[in-house]
Amino acid sequence: MSGARARALVALLALVTACGRVGPPVAPERRLPLPPTALSVTIRAGEIVLSWQNPTHRADHSRLRDVEVVRVYRTSDAGQGEAKPAVLAGDQVVGYERLAVIRLEQPEPAVVEGRQVRVVDRADLTEGRRYTYVVTASDGSGRTSPPSARLSLVYITAPEPPTGLTAEPGEAAVRLTWEPPARLTDGRPLDGTITYEVLRAPSPDAALAPITAAPIADTRYTDSAVGNERTYYYAVRAVRSTAGGVASSAPSDTVAATPRKLTPPPPPTGLVAVPSAQAVRLTWKPRPEPDVAGYVIYRAAGPDAPLTRIGTTLVPTAVFVDRDVARGTYRYAVSAFDKATIPNESARSAEVSVTIP
């Protein structure tokens, strides 16, 4: 072989070797999805609602973009001692029943909102039994995560919803009152501790969401995190707690309330009346408050007659000409009103008196 051909062969082999060079192999378990997180459960009337977040990374910290299937597993026992450990064998958790297989392309009856998934368990729930749940996630290649952290709860019967909910609107506030539930959903008398979650929605078709940071014991609540001239929708849920578990009722009937401004603006100042032939020109200092909508003008004939309303102006106008006058003495005053749905009117300004010759 000539020297030129030998050198060319060596260069080709070097190129092939360099292009084919790869890093050390990645262990298969390092490519597994991480398990779902933030598993939570809520007992409602005849059901347990499970919620969790799907993983976004693999065990090697690389991004996970193709979660395709989520499986929910459940086991139950009498509640003595530690709950059964969760060990994955293939796509089955040993000793657990597979409760649901959720394909994220068509997740029904589960509800998927971004990473958050929610599913309802209504399968053969028994009062006083302990139920333990775990969830796994599988990617598009069929690699399945380890089970999530276990979550256990004791199933108890939920109370009926509260009754008689009323909502009294005030200024930037809504005062709610209601009656406790009458019984449990299975007809038995109430027992355990009963507290309440207050729910609110911004429109009649929006989802109700809790506005109490934790359930409250009172059957009254004032919502001060509201704005005037907007309608809010409320319901209340009863929460039963016993030594074994916690269960929430369905929401009560929904009521609506519209807070509104109740405080009137201050009265106008600086009222001046200038007479002329068969007319009186009134001026005053405009109110600086941004919610002032206009002014009401009052007049009385003589020193003892009551003031009566004779006209209005809208901001920014602070002038009014009264042309409906004859000879004589008149008294005038002005008030301000705001932009509330039901306007609030201020007290009247100091009176001024003028004589038409």
pLDDT at residue 9, rounded to an integer = 46
Average pLDDT, the chain: 91
Q: What is the percent of the chain where pLDDT is above 90?
A: 81
pLDDT at residue 276, rounded to an integer = 87
Comparing 21 with 169, which gets the higher pLDDT?
A: 169
312-320 long-range contacts, Cβ below 8 Å, gap at least 24?
A: 315/286, 315/287, 316/286, 318/268, 318/283, 318/284, 318/285, 318/286, 319/281, 319/282, 319/283, 320/281, 320/282, 320/295
The Cα 330–Cα 40 span in angstroms is 75
Sequence spans of domains, the chain: 28-154, 163-257, 269-356
Question: Stretch 70-95: mean pLDDT, rounded?
Answer: 93
* Residues 209 and 199: beta-carbon distance below 8 Å: yes
What order do you get walking across the sheet with 116-121 strand by strand? 37-44, 47-53, 116-121, 111-113
Question: Stretch 314-330: mean pLDDT, rounded?
Answer: 93
Question: Stretch 304-331: mean pLDDT, rounded?
Answer: 94
pLDDT at residue 218, rounded to an integer = 97
The Cα 221–Cα 224 span in angstroms is 10
Q: What pTM was estimated for this model as a whole?
A: 0.70
Question: Stretch 129-135: mean pLDDT, rounded?
Answer: 96
Burial of 259 (0-12, 13-18, 19+ CB in 10 A): buried
pLDDT at 319 over 50: yes
pLDDT at 97 over 80: yes
Q: Which CATH number fits domain 269-356: 1.10.10.10, 2.60.40.10, 3.30.300.250, 2.40.160.20?
A: 2.60.40.10
pLDDT at 22 over 60: no
Structure-token pair, residue 235: 């319901």
Question: Stretch 84-91: mean pLDDT, rounded?
Answer: 92
What CATH architecture applies to the domain 163-257?
Sandwich (2.60)
> 300: closest CA among 332, 277, 324?
332
Find residue 102's DSSP bridge partners: 70
Give residue 7's pLDDT band: very low, low, confident or very high (50, 70, 90). Answer: low
Fold annotation for 28-154: Immunoglobulin-like (2.60.40)
Question: Stretch 229-252: mean pLDDT, rounded?
Answer: 93
The C-alpha angle 85, 88, 91, rounded to 5 degrees, equals: 140
Summarised one tens digit per residue, pLDDT across range 242-295 is 877 899 999 999 999 999 999 999 999 999 999 988 899 999 999 999 999 999
pLDDT at 20 over 50: no
The Cα 40–Cα 57 span in angstroms is 20
Identical topology for domains 163-257 and 269-356: yes
pLDDT at residue 18, rounded to an integer = 42
The Cα 209–Cα 199 span in angstroms is 5
The Cα 327–Cα 299 span in angstroms is 14
pLDDT at residue 45, rounded to an integer = 86
pLDDT at residue 3, rounded to an integer = 52
Question: Stretch 113-127: mean pLDDT, rounded?
Answer: 93
Structure-token pair, residue 135: 């969830």
Longest dimension (CA), the chain: 134
The Cα 341–Cα 344 span in angstroms is 9
The Cα 142–Cα 136 span in angstroms is 12
* Residues 2 and 9: beta-carbon distance below 8 Å: no
